[in-house]
Structure 1
Amino acid sequence: MTKRALLLVDIQNDFCAGGALAVPEGDSTVDVANALIDWCKTRGDAVVASMDWHPADHGSFASQHNVEPYTQGRLDSLPQTFWPDHCVQDTEGAELHPLLKHKAIDAVFHKGANPQIDSYSAFFDNGHKQKTQLDEWLRHHEISTLIVVGLATDYCVKFTVLDALSLGYSVNVITDGCRGVNLNPQDSAQAFMNMSAAGATLYTLADWVETQG
């Protein structure tokens, strides 16, 4: 039997209402995530989470470059959006959303701790120079299929899904469990198209529950 894991991408306070980098309707991902946690736990599936975990002087922060948030530039020779300070290590903003079922999470993987480069994906930094421990953990537990929800659709979810596919995982994205930043109005829709084109299967929560039994 194929082993599965639910991957919760960056469902953290700073990406939800009142947070430093609040994603529109970001909080709505929590109910979907919790429903999937319950669904997975009754079937023996693992539940893992990624967390942005930035030092206070992270190079992706607009404050480090004296520019306005959302300014475009470069970091470590890569194109970079300069963000409001967010998910700073050991702050309330970096914590998982309080209504998320924390106790059901089997493992948490931090990303974005290197101040010299951003890390959207839960697997790699943006330059693919360093890996997190996520892939090693999944392989150790013989997991080959992922169910993905979280924040934000057009950044961390998209790059996590694309990396998972490139690493050989079967990936299912629950679309109503994701919300996007949408610096451009169609960014999230385009992100879902990119994920699907790369091999991910897209479901709503209702479709997933109905088709997967």
Structure 2
Amino acid sequence: MDSLVIVDCQYDFIDGSLACSGSHEAVAYLINFINRHEMEVLYTSDWHSPANRSFKVNGGIWPIHCVAGEKGSALDRHFFADIIDVKNRPNEENIFHKGMDDIVEEYSAFHGINKKGIPLGTMVTDHVYVGGIASEYCIKETVFELLKAGHKVTLLVKGLGYVDYNGHLAAIDAMKKLGVEILE
């Protein structure tokens, strides 16, 4: 069975402080994909403390986002409500948090951990499908880490949200050049 990694489909990236283009459509596409395919579904969450140095107020470049336990850090409710098979819905074993180190910027979800402390990179299968938010940052870096670890990666383009359209296209092109299969 293949894995599907859903990257950072959280409210702050959908309609919050860092809302990304195409996010609502990406979530709908990903839910439909999950309901039509038998896969091991894994979710990632950006998970920061208020002291995270990536925030502008702390000297970084981003607005405050995905503060642990706040509404903006929650995964979109449709993943809980609209996925038919209960085992494919988010739960404490298949949600992997990243960005918990206040000093280190962590776009890649590869080293994110679940409640048991297990890293995402040890849970994925040889072939990994990837979708989520945002293609130019967390998607791209997660894909690069998966490739570096020897995984075959398929990118679900209709399941991507993005910050900037041109950056989105450039990120897809960069991933394609590294051998990522592109599923339109």
Q: Which range, TM-score by smaller chain?
A: 0.7 to 0.9
User: Match for 1:135: what amino acid?
Assistant: G
CA shift digits 1:102-129 (9 cap, x unpaired): 642361100000000111111148xxxx
Contact map agreement 2:96 2:119 (CA 8 A) in 1 = yes
CA distance in 1: counterparts of 2:161 and 2:72, whole angstroms: 18
Q: CA deviation at 1:132?
A: 7.0
The TM-score normalised by the length of structure 2 is: 0.88
Corresponding residue SS for 2:150:
coil
Larger Rg belongs to: 1
Q: Which residue of 2 aligns with 1:82?
A: 61
Q: Which residue among 121, 128, 143 is the counterpart of 1:135?
A: 121
Alignment of 1:34-113 (within 5 A): 34-40=31-37, 43=38, 45-65=39-59, 82-101=61-80, 103=86, 104-105=88-89, 107-113=94-100
SS of structure 2 residue aligned to 1:100: helix
Identity percentage of aligned residues:
28
The structure 2 residue matched to 1:168, chosen from 143, 150, 157, is 150
SS at match of 1:149: strand
Unaligned runs of 5+ in 2: none
Q: Which residue of 1 aligns with 2:106?
A: 119
Structure 1 gap segments, 5+ residues each: 66-80, 126-130, 205-213
Contact (CA 8 Å) 2:30, 2:131: kept in 1 or not? yes
Cα distance in structure 1, aligned partners of 2:40 and 2:22: 26
Asked if 1 retains the 8 angstrom alpha-carbon contact of 2:152 and 2:180, the reply is yes
From 139, 163, 180, the equivalent of 2:162 is 180
Distance 1:161 1:54, change over 3 A: same
SS at match of 1:181: coil
Question: 1:132 and 1:188 mapped to 2: Cα distance?
Answer: 30
Q: How many residues align?
A: 172
Mapped partners of 1:50, 1:23: distance in 2: 16
Q: What amino acid maps onto 2:52 in structure 1? A: H
Normalized against structure 1, the TM-score is what? 0.76
Contact 2:22 2:160 in 1 (8 A): no
Q: How far 1:198 sits from its partner (Å)?
A: 1.1
Q: Report 1 or 2 for greater relative contact order, CA contacts < 8 Å, sequence distance ≥ 6.
A: 2
Could you say what secondary structure the match of 1:33 adopts? helix
Matched, 1:189 2:176: no
Partner deviation per Cα, 1:50-109 (whole Å, 9 max, x = no partner): 1000111101000112xxxxxxxxxxxxxxx61000000000100001112464236110
Residues 34, 101 of structure 1: 8 Å contact kept: no
Look up the match of 1:21: 18
